[in-house]
Amino acid sequence: MSETTNENIRVLPMLALRGVVTFPKMVVHFDVGRGKSIKAIDDAMNTNQTILLITQRDILVEEPTYKDLYEVGVISKIRQVIKLPSGGVRVLAEGVCRCKCLSFAKTEPAYYAECEAFEEIVTRCSAVNKDALLRHTRVLIEEYAGLISKMPPDIVKTVLSSNDMGFIADFIANNIPVDIDDKQYVLEQYNPQKRLKIVISLLEREKQILKIDAKINQTVHESMDENQRNYYLHEQLKAISEELYGGNDPQDEAEEYVEKIDEMKMSQDIKDKLLKEVDRLLKMPSGSHEATVVRNYLDTCLELPWGIFTESKTDIQKSQKILDRDHYGLPKVKQRMIEMIAVHSLVPKVKGQIICLVGPPGVGKTSIAKSVAECMGRKYARVSLGGVSDEAEIRGHRKTYIGAMPGRIINAIKIAGSANPLILLDEVDKLDSNYKGDPSAALLEALDSEQNSTFVDHYIDLPFDLSRVLFITTANSLDTIPSPLLDRVEIIEISSYTREDKFHIAKNYLIKKQLKEHGLAVKTCKITDEVVYKLIDNYTHEAGVRNLSREIASLCRKTATKIVSGESKKVVITETNLKDFLGVEKFKPDVVLDTDEVGFVNGLAWTAVGGVLMQLEVAAVKGTGKLVLTGSLGDVMKESAKTAVTYVRSKADEFHIDSDFYKNLDIHINATEGAIPKDGPSAGVTMVTALVSCLTNTPIKHDVAMTGEVTLRGRILPIGGLKEKSMAAYKSGIKTVFIPIDNIPNLEEVDELVKKNVTFVPAANVSEVIMGALVKKQEMPISETIGKTFIVPNLDVAVTSTAVSQ
């Protein structure tokens, strides 16, 4: 790859080294990880294996420029290239000659540099001066070798056997641990005599540093000997004091440990290992650090519930009552828990039932696990995994480390006091990984029913049986959970609570709980049903009920203040005086327009806090065919808009729309509440309906909402979250909701109150939705400025045949 304008000027692939300086005739090996550097090596190997190695000034620079490199480098031959598992390569190269980097020839996809090779500058040097320099160098290298430990003898032999001043200078500079700047300074010298003098000064300096270092080490060693002597005398004094004044007998302590070990229900192998630790403790001075470590280890091991099991309860009817008492709704979750309890009644030693409850915050995942523990009569322990980034937090530290302790799982077993407790691994999706390890990988053994019978914590270093432990994990999202860990658990999704769910939870649980906690009773504080609905609609906006509980607690606090101050003996909170307690409303409920509008349609969306009404509006203005999308739309929703436009173009004749509208008009699709990000394909039906309404100047019924994904041929695909979306439609006053025909089975999950007040119209094709949602038979001029009039199609089509009215 070299171009020659001059015999000594060449263009070669260049590799910028970090923290390494190469020399001619020296072999160097280094690892390469940067993409440009790997490409430069590949180019060199594909030509004549020649490459320019040059050192960069700052090792932290990832993309070095010409100013970031030293001017002098070495033209080298690549002798070997080995690919590493990390994706990088390990290179073995041999220097050929010094060169000066003149400029960069190119920087992409790899660095190429224009460089000029230099010959050695030979100056007159008498034989006497040469011999003096070489002799002085050899004496210095021998003295240096005597001061430094583990210096290869071949280095001294090479220096003693060579008479080439330039080679000796390069060889010594390459093999002594001096700064990079000093090595580069040696490399930049083309005069062998001057180069050797610089190396001699470096050797003199290094020799002085080594002498000072040896003196410091000797002083430290003498100090340590003195400390050991003092420790020995203190131990003798301690033994004499115990003989004179009495003390604890180590033999008694050892016998106590032996008795405890014999009483434990553990295997003989584990007992033997613990007895060896007792023997070690007996041979150690009682106050030594090592004895404290062994004593803490034995105490921890003996506190574990080896072979201690609680008897599981399997009363299905009683378990159902407990679950219904503590939680409203959640039929699928309760059914799965009852099934698990039933299986345990038939197979007490069943393995492999590890459940992961997934849902938004505040829906009761943690409390469900606590209720299940009560149902089964098991001890309960909770392990919070949020923010855990150290693998040792899960599997413990080696007991030899200072401050070592067992991992969180073994610690939970110890706190529970049973070998078959219910352990809740909370927030498993919040685990983090860094240079300390991956804690999610450490959980794999604990959650694998085929492996956890011999789970080994690093601290106790003994196999502990976790197969009888019932693990329940919780997570807000599955996206951050590694797939191997996800494969070991059974996923149970808990959706957000609907408006009616929150109302019943507040009436049956939250109000009673907060009244009791604040010292109130129903006689002194009354919260009406209208207030509860107001709190849900206008003061909270969440998937769970945590904020709702806080608002109720705020009402109780203010009520307690009025009663204690003597202002009132009984407080009734109604819809009219609610603002006096909580201030102005924080949220406004979704409302629909009172009139039918052109290009304005009610869509339904699902969010982490439940279903919401998402209103879309479309405008068509004279232009050049641009499609403008606003309202914080995500990529999937933008693609749905493009699909909607293409579908309307394909059906322009059927809808009596000008087939060139996409050329003559600019279409603007906007989703209201632009500050809130929106994404997903289920707005396809909404966009198509709004487009047809706008292009035909036909109003859309204001009390109609819709949801569904649309294909290019108009087919409506099923969507998720129908339960939450239907509740949002009901709250907003929607009378008719168009849904995909494939979602008819999901109507069973819809709240009964919603079914009584909302008519659901399943549709297989978007044309059915258009005919049912648009106001029938109107003529409209889409734009007088364009000079064209479009006729609305006959929309007199009955849709009641497919209506599912509940």
Give residue limits of the domains in the chain. 9-117, 250-303, 316-493, 499-582, 597-805
Question: How far is it, in rounded angstroms, from Cα 669 to Cα 693?
Answer: 12
Catalytic, 725? Answer yes
**pLDDT higher than 50, residue 392:** yes
- pLDDT score of 244: 47
Question: How far is it, in rounded angstroms, from Cα 705 to Cα 164?
Answer: 91
**Comparing 780 with 266, which gets the higher pLDDT?**
266
User: What CATH code is assigned to 9-117?
Assistant: 2.30.130.40
Question: How far is it, in rounded angstroms, from Cα 605 to Cα 763?
Answer: 18
- pLDDT score of 2: 40
pLDDT band at 792 (very low <50, low <70, confident <90, very high): very low
Which CATH architecture does the domain made up of 499-582 adopt? Orthogonal Bundle (1.10)
What number is the average pLDDT over the span 666-675?
84
- pLDDT score of 801: 28
Angle at 101 between CA 100 and CA 103, to 5 degrees: 145
**pLDDT higher than 90, residue 168:** no
Residue 614 one-letter amino acid: M
Catalytic, 682? Answer yes
- pLDDT score of 224: 67
What number is the average pLDDT over the span 514-538?
88
State which H helix or E strand residue 685 sits in.
helix 684-696
- pLDDT score of 307: 85
State which H helix or E strand residue 224 sits in.
helix 192-245
Tens of pLDDT along 256-269? 888 888 888 888 88
Q: Which of 76, 682, 693, 783 is catalytic?
A: 682
**pLDDT higher than 90, residue 143:** no
- pLDDT score of 390: 81
Residues 6+ apart with CB under 8 A from 160: 138, 141
What number is the average pLDDT over the span 454-465?
88
pLDDT band at 233 (very low <50, low <70, confident <90, very high): low
**pLDDT higher than 70, residue 609:** no
User: What CATH code is assigned to 316-493?
Assistant: 3.40.50.300
- pLDDT score of 440: 82
pLDDT band at 788 (very low <50, low <70, confident <90, very high): very low
Does domain 597-805 match CATH 3.30.230.10? Answer: yes
What number is the average pLDDT over the span 88-113?
89
What number is the average pLDDT over the span 133-159?
81
Phi, psi (rounded to 5 degrees) for 250: -55, -30
**Comparing 776 with 224, which gets the higher pLDDT?**
776
Residue 596 one-letter amino acid: D
pTM to 2 decimal places = 0.57
- pLDDT score of 291: 81
Question: DSSP string spanning 323-350?
Answer: HHHH-SS-HHHHHHHHHHHHHHHH-TT-
Q: Which of 725, 731, 767, 783 is catalytic?
A: 725
**pLDDT higher than 80, residue 605:** yes
**pLDDT higher than 50, residue 706:** yes
